[in-house]
Amino acid sequence: MFWRMITKTLIRQRGKMLMIAFTVVLGVSLSTAMMNVMLGVGDKVNRELKVYGANITVRHKDAALMSDLYGLEGQGVNDKFLHEEDVLKLKSIFWGFNILDFAPILEGKADFDGSEVAVMGTWPEKHTTLPTGEELHTGLKNLRTWWEISGEWMNEDEDDSVMLGHLLASQKNIHAGDTITLKAGGQSQKFTVKGIFNDGGNSDSKILMTLPAAQRLLNLSGRVSAIEVSALTTPDNDLARKAAQDPHSLSPDEYETWYCTAYVSAICHQIQEVIRDGVAKPVRQVAESEGTILNKTTLLMILITILSSIGSALAISNLITASVIERSQELGLLKALGAHNWQIVLLVLAEVMITGLAGGVVGYFMGIGFAQIIGQTVFGSYIEIARMVILIVAVILFLVTVVGSIPAIRYLMALKPTEVLHGK
Amino acid sequence: MTKKILELQGVSKIYGNLKALADINLSVNAGDWLSIMGPSGSGKTTMINIIGCMDTPSTGSVILDGTDISTENAANLTRIRRDKIGLIFQQFHLISYLTAVENVMVAQYYHSMPDEEEALEALAKVGLSERAHHLPAQLSGGEQQRVCIARALINSPQILLGDEPTGNLDEENEGIVVDIFRRLHDEGVTIIVVTHDPEVGDVAQRKIILEHGRVVDDIDQSATFGEALMLKGRRQAS
């Protein structure tokens, strides 16, 4: 009888129930979309932020110490270098998949046209296969996406080519295609200028060449000054901050959690485990900006979810209350026939829950669609569907429906059969 | 000795400054057919609400089948109403989207278990077998009221309470309803009917007249009871 009454009520009140279902569809679709985007956006926002360059720099521990103490950079700080053969080990760490790009840097000085200039050797591009079988395509080109190039980028095997920073190029009146001679350590070498780059920073006065060319010119075979790393990271929290101070201060459980989360400090720690004498440090401005933007994006989506849930609850509340008031005579009659308050409340809640569930299912799938539209429009890729969203949406739907029903329930509890049956 | 099914002792109901019922004393025996009459505002509906466990008196006690219902809480009143009272309304109050038999089954559902066969039997008793699967909108006023009576009787209540049960019916249907009451009375059902209609009031065994919340007359109609019923039957036949 219970289900017969509910079925017939739903059919009879289909207009109102459709309105309730529509409200739920709107709320749930928005919540589903926001939560899927929120849970899938971390990597996507991070990838977007990768255009701002490396967020981790690895140096020899002594060079890093000098840099920390005196703010000194480059050759001349000391003569401690990292080993080039260690560079590819970056991809072997626990969070290796989160390391998107990296490039070794060898810095030094050379004589150019009678004046001393900074030269920088690197992997413009690097294509190789790792021992794991993974294809690797990385290099400085991926870390300097904002560079404006006049001419072309060097290829990885063009050891006789260089690129000049635009300040130096304009000072020496050099153009792409010109030939220059660099002298260092008593030897001189000719290079073809492949391109002029505009970095907008210190590099604009430097000469860029391939790592083997720089090692040969500077007579530093197999050596690199630093490694720039761009990694996908999780925003720092208290645990990450505590670990950054001293990983040994963590309890075993805390250490495991920290180590297995892509905090920038955890990734730095793991890099240090594979790079001999290396000290990995986050580039704070970039790492913190990523964290801040990600946190704010997440907060915005949570707020939208909460607001849409509140909006849905209010709309549902109005619709259910109107429906119950309209049916007060019928519900009062049920009380007169011997129905207890909880039985009437159960009846109304069941009607609303069934309607809400139907709206919730439709809303969930619409929300997935919205998430994909957002993913395609904003990030140019699909958003991965998080299964846990189903559970969260179910809880939100339940809460929204129950909270939205509270005014109607209060009205039902106070409803006296005598008032609606006799008009007294 | 006849069992006393209902007893009102010094019952008053006060709404603010208004005394809807004032010191009512009344006792009803099991199987009695009682009509309560009086002008509008005399307290008839208030009295039936209190007897029907839908309201409580401000003072006094109401003993229903040995239980003082004036001190019971709302949940207990609901239980007592469900088990002991059958209600008939002037406006019928059938659920519009349920068929006649389903309307009867609703009362079963909140009492114990719905049983369609039993509900169909109850409808047959009031002559509505053929209309059992019709919606209220497809039934005449008289038929709706008979569904209402079947619903009131389905749980075998100790008292059948009617609030102007013929108030919305034409004379023919009024006669049918009164005839059903007569049969129920013969079966031993206690009937208490509030009515404006003197003819309906006169066919009861006993008539209570209320004015300004007080019982001003308590008329034993046992002597003319059968005659009045016969007269009504004849009038209806003609």
Mean pLDDT of B216-228: 75
Return all residues near A253 (Cβ < 8 A) that are at least 6 apart. Answer: none
One-letter amino acid of B135: L
Q: Give the minimum alpha-carbon distance from B223 to chain A in angstroms, rounded to a whole number.
A: 33
pLDDT tens by residue, B133-187: 999 999 988 888 889 888 988 888 889 898 888 887 777 778 888 888 888 888 8
Residue pair A83/A76 in contact by the 8 Å Cβ criterion: no
For residues A268 and A383, state if they share a domain.
no
A-chain residues near B55 (CB < 8 A)? 416, 418
Which of the residue ranges A68-72, A277-281, A308-312 would you say has the lowest mean pLDDT?
A: A68-72
Which domain-ending residue is among A246, A264, A282?
A: A282
Q: Give the minimum alpha-carbon distance from B37 to chain A in angstroms, rounded to a whole number.
A: 16
Select from B87, B97, B114 the Cβ nearest to the Cβ of A8. B97
pLDDT tens by residue, B25-81: 999 988 889 999 988 888 888 898 899 888 889 999 999 888 898 888 888 888 998
Which domain-ending residue is among A224, A255, A282?
A: A282
Return all residues near A281 (Cβ < 8 A) that are at least 6 apart. Answer: A56, A57, A58, A59, A64, A268
Q: What is the rounded end-to-end Cα distance, in angstroms, of chain A?
A: 30
Q: Is the dihedral of CA A161, A166, A172, A177 positive or negative?
A: positive
Q: Give the minimum alpha-carbon distance from A398 to chain B in angstroms, rounded to a whole number.
A: 27
**Chain A residue at shortest CA distance from B102:** A1
- Residue A424's pLDDT is 44
For residues A357 and A243, state if they share a domain.
no
pLDDT tens by residue, A46-57: 666 666 667 889
One-letter amino acid of B66: G
Name the CA dihedral angle for A273, A276, A279, A282, rounded to a multiple of 10 degrees: -60
**Chain A residue at shortest CA distance from B76:** A340
**Is A262 domain-assigned?**
yes
Confidence band, pLDDT 50/70/90 cuts, at residue A71: low
Which of the residue ranges A62-71, A168-177, A380-389 would you say has the lowest mean pLDDT?
A: A62-71
The domain in which residue A28 lies consists of 2-46+291-417
Which domain-ending residue is among A225, A258, A282?
A: A282
* Residues forming a β-bridge with A121: A106, A209
Residue A365 has pLDDT above 90, yes or no: yes
B-chain residues near A424 (CB < 8 A)? 45-46, 49
Select from A12, A337, A343 the Cβ nearest to the Cβ of B107. A337
Q: Please give the Cα distance from B181 to A417 (Å, whole number).
A: 24
CA distances B199 to A158, B175, B178, Å, are 117, 10, 10
Specify the number of domains making up chain A. Answer: 2
For residues A22 and A148, state if they share a domain.
no
- Residue A282's pLDDT is 84
Q: Which two tokens stand for residue A418?
A: 């005598």
**Chain B residue at shortest CA distance from A330:** B95
Interchain contact, B78 vs A335, CB within 8 Å? yes
For residues A361 and A229, state if they share a domain.
no
Residue corresponding to tokens 């990030």: A379
**Is A394 domain-assigned?**
yes
Secondary structure in 3-state letters for chain B: CCCEEEEEEEEEEEECCEEEEEEEEEEEECCCEEEEECCCCCCHHHHHHHHCCCCCCCEEEEEECCEEHHHCCHHHHHHHHHHHEEEECCCCCCCCCCCHHHHHHHHHHHHCCCCHHHHHHHHHHCCCHHHCCCCHHHCCHHHHHHHHHHHHHCCCCCEEEEECCCCCCCHHHHHHHHHHHHHHHHCCCEEEEECCCHHHHHCCCEEEEEECCEEEEEEECHHHHHHHHHHHHHHHHC
Interchain contact, B110 vs A338, CB within 8 Å? yes
B-chain residues near A339 (CB < 8 A)? 78, 110
For residues A399 and A327, state if they share a domain.
yes
Confidence band, pLDDT 50/70/90 cuts, at residue B233: low
**Backbone angle region of B31, left / alpha / beta, with phi > 0 → left and psi within -120 to 50 → alpha:** left
Interchain contact, A422 vs B163, CB within 8 Å? yes
CA distances B135 to A6, B103, B139, B144, Å, are 16, 9, 7, 9
CA angle centred on A118, ends A112 and A123, rounded to 5°: 110
Predicted TM-score of the model (pTM): 0.64
For residues A259 and A128, state if they share a domain.
yes
Q: Which two tokens stand for residue B166?
A: 């013929």
One-letter amino acid of B11: V
Interchain contact, B54 vs A424, CB within 8 Å? no
Residue A285 has pLDDT above 70, yes or no: no
For residues A184 and A207, state if they share a domain.
yes
Q: Please give the Cα distance from B157 to A234 (Å, whole number).
A: 70
**Is A424 domain-assigned?**
no
Q: How far is CA A139 from the centre of its chain?
A: 22
Q: Is the dihedral of CA A57, A60, A66, A69 positive or negative?
A: positive
Confidence band, pLDDT 50/70/90 cuts, at residue A75: very low
Residues of A with CB under 8 A from a CB of B: 1-2, 4-5, 8-9, 11-12, 329-330, 333-341, 343, 416-418, 421-422, 424
Q: Give the minimum alpha-carbon distance from B224 to chain A in angstroms, rounded to a whole number.
A: 32
Q: Which two tokens stand for residue B5?
A: 């099914």
Q: Please give the Cα distance from B95 to B86 (Å, whole number).
A: 16
For residues A248 and A346, state if they share a domain.
no
CATH of domain B4-237: 3.40.50.300
Residue A122 has pLDDT above 90, yes or no: yes
Residue pair A415/A328 in contact by the 8 Å Cβ criterion: yes
**Chain B residue at shortest CA distance from A419:** B54
Residue A207 has pLDDT above 90, yes or no: yes
Rank A208-212, A262-266, B84-88 by mean pLDDT and report only the highest. A208-212
